[in-house]
Every structure is written in C-alpha cells, then in structure tokens.
Amino acid sequence: MGSQSPRQHGMDGDHWNNARLRAVIHKRVGVEYSRGYIREIAIHTGVGDLITRRRN
C-alpha cells in the first residue's frame, strides 16, 4: 500500500488518511481497528508519514 495511491484501492481521493487506510485494511483482512490504532500501525510499518493529518 505504501507506494500505491488510495485510488488504486478503490478510494475516492489522492492522499491517504486514517479513514481510507482503515477501510482498505478492513476490506483486506476483515478487521476494524480504531483511529488511534490505525495511526500506530501506520507508524510502526513505516507509512505513518503518508497519512494526512485532519484539518480543523
């Protein structure tokens, strides 16, 4: 997933965010993770910098 865009996974967007990453992981492995845990997974797998931060 790291070098692929969200669009390559059927998502409507060009940048990864927490919700898109959660959806792809759920689709692939059938497990729903919390927002906080998705961030931890992304950081520990070296793709944390790909997730865009939420804008207020």
pLDDT band at 56 (very low <50, low <70, confident <90, very high): low
Number of neighbours of residue 18 by Cβ within 10 angstroms: 18
Structure confidence by residue, pLDDT tens digits, 2-45? 578 889 999 898 888 999 999 999 999 999 999 999 999 999 98
Band of pLDDT at residue 52, cut at 50, 70 and 90? confident
Tokens representing 20? Answer: 């898109």
Helix 35-44 × helix 18-29 angle, to 10°: 80
Looking at residue 35, its pLDDT comes to: 92
**Domain-wise residue ranges, the chain:** 6-50
pTM of the model: 0.77
Predicted confidence at residue 26, as pLDDT, reads 95
27 to 21, 30, 40: CA distances (angstroms): 10, 6, 19
Is there a contact between 8 and 28 (Cβ–Cβ < 8 Å)?
no
Rounded to whole angstroms, how far apart are CA atoms 23 and 44? 18
